Amino acid sequence: MKVFLVRHAIAHERNRVRWPNDALRPLTSAGMQKFRRASAGLAKWMPRSARLLTSPFVRARETAVLLAEARGSKKPVECAELAADKPFSQAFELLRARKDKAVILVGHEPYLSGFLSIALAGQGPRLKIDFKKGGAACIEFTSRIEPGRACLHWLMPPRVLRALR
């Protein structure tokens, strides 16, 4: 299974007065504009059949909707397992339960870089991964979907994705 990881685009800064619940914090208009351009390039690297799954947090959902529009694909499916505060084991369980050949996971930091590290290197020492807002990675599990069993195909910051248009 190919797994595309996408970090949500630029969101508003944390503000407990405006968003007492951080899960409700949205993207900025500049973040949306930049990710629209990045998603146009990113869409070219993803199979049309890849199912789009997203964290239920507003900023991730908004990013996933923009990506779905760029791909001309179905609306994203919200998955509680991809919320920023969930254990990595839930993402592995989510992937194992899917029958898709490719999926796209839209989420948060440090969750995505942590999941990526474990997928590539297992539960041992963590790899240091700089996963930019609006950036993406592609890994592949050729056999079992387990920690340490993935192969990294690419990791791109948003400025590179915007240049792919």
- Write out pLDDT tens, residues 32-83: 999 999 999 999 889 999 999 999 999 999 999 999 999 998 899 999 999 9
CA angle 135, 53, 10 (to 5 degrees): 35
Residue 151's CB is within 10 A of a number of other CB atoms, namely 12
- The domain segmentation of the chain, as residue ranges, is 2-163
At 108-131, the pLDDT tens digits run: 999 999 999 999 999 877 899 999
What whole-number percentage of the chain has pLDDT above 90? Answer: 92
Contact 127, 30 (CB under 8 A): no
- Considering the four listed CATH numbers 3.40.50.300, 3.40.50.1820, 3.40.50.2300, 3.40.50.1240, the one that applies to the domain covering 2-163 is 3.40.50.1240
List, edge to edge, every strand of the sheet that includes 150-156: 77-78, 51-54, 102-107, 2-7, 136-141, 150-156
* Mean pLDDT of the region 21-34: 96
Smallest CA-to-CA distance from 141 within 107, 100, 106 is with 100
Query: What is the reported pTM?
Result: 0.95
Alpha helices in the chain (DSSP H): 29-43, 58-71, 88-97, 111-121, 158-163
Smallest CA-to-CA distance from 1 within 100, 149, 115, 119 is with 100
Q: How many residues does the chain have?
A: 165
